[in-house]
């Protein structure tokens, strides 16, 4: 019997937010996201100028945890999730720590997509799911070795998940997903009539 093993594994972390304290009030988080989006004219201007469907606070607001207690609670919860993921990854952080760098709101309307991208300059990135209407998009991750697979045959349709070139994950409201920031991902088109609302973030090593 041959001995087969997996090398250079890509880890994906998924957990429900309330598993760790402090508990985050998702209804309040949703209301806050909508209220911020309603007031942020500079953010809407940026989205329009840059062809971003829907709304993101990414370019306009950098102090959500300072302004809104529910975001402060969220960051405390995320710190614990990120620490758990760093442990799983067996990072040797030395005398530095993983710290929140950015956190921002995404509101993707019907027909909106977010094309493939990485999060440069960060170590851990992730998303918390705030509103996921029936039929809305999963998040799609791409095998980071894809650009090297010039002559590789495609994988069988029913290939094991860990061997597929793309991985689709359908998070539930209140879920947090974490991945290493170099992992390319995209949000396919939101086919639901309602908004898909999420909060994304980056952690740096400093
Ligand atoms: Fe992203």
- Residues 108-128: tens digit of each pLDDT: 999 999 999 999 999 999 999
Name residue, tokens 């440069």: 120
Q: 125: domain CATH number? A: 2.60.120.620
Is the residue at 181 inside a domain?
Answer: yes
Average confidence (pLDDT) over 152-165: 94
Q: 28-37 pLDDT, tens per residue?
A: 999 999 999 9
Coil, strand or helix at 55: strand
Rounded to the nearest angstrom, the distance between the alpha carbon of 2 and the centre of ligand 1 is 39
Q: Using omega within 30 degrees of 0 as the cis cutoff, is the peptide bond preceding 120 cis?
A: no
- Whether the full predicted model's pTM is greater than 0.85, yes or no, is yes
Confidence at residue 1, expressed as pLDDT on a 0 to 100 scale: 87
Identify the domain containing residue 87 by its residue range. Answer: 13-205
Coil, strand or helix at 54: coil
Rounded to the nearest angstrom, the distance between the alpha carbon of 3 and the centre of ligand 1 is 37
Which residue stretches of the chain are H helix? 26-39, 41-49, 64-67, 69-88
Is the residue at 3 inside a domain?
Answer: no
Q: How many Cα atoms sit within 13 Å of 21 on the Cβ side?
A: 0
Rounded to the nearest angstrom, the distance between the alpha carbon of 94 and the centre of ligand 1 is 27
């Amino acid at each position: 019997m041959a001995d087969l093993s997996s090398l250079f594994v890509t880890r994906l972390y998924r957990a429900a937010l309330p598993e760790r304290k402090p508990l985050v009030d998702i209804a309040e988080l949703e209301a806050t996201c909508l209220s911020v989006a309603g007031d942020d004219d500079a953010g809407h201007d940026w989205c329009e100028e840059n062809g971003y469907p829907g709304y993101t606070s990414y370019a306009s607001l950098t102090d959500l945890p300072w302004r809104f207690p529910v975001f402060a609670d969220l960051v405390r919860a995320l710190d614990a999730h990120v620490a758990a993921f760093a442990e799983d990854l067996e990072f040797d952080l030395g005398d530095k720590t993983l710290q929140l760098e950015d956190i921002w709101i995404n509101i993707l309307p019907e027909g909106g997509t977010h094309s493939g991208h990485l999060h440069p300059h960060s170590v851990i990135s992730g998303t918390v799911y705030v509103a996921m209407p029936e039929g809305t998009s999963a998040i799609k991750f791409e095998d980071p070795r894809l650009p090297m697979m010039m002559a590789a045959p495609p994988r069988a349709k029913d290939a094991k998940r860990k061997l597929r070139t793309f991985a689709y994950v359908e998070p539930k409201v209140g879920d947090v997903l974490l991945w290493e920031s170099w992992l390319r991902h995209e949000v396919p088109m939101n086919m639901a009539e309602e908004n898909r609302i999420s909060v994304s973030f980056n952690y740096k090593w400093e």
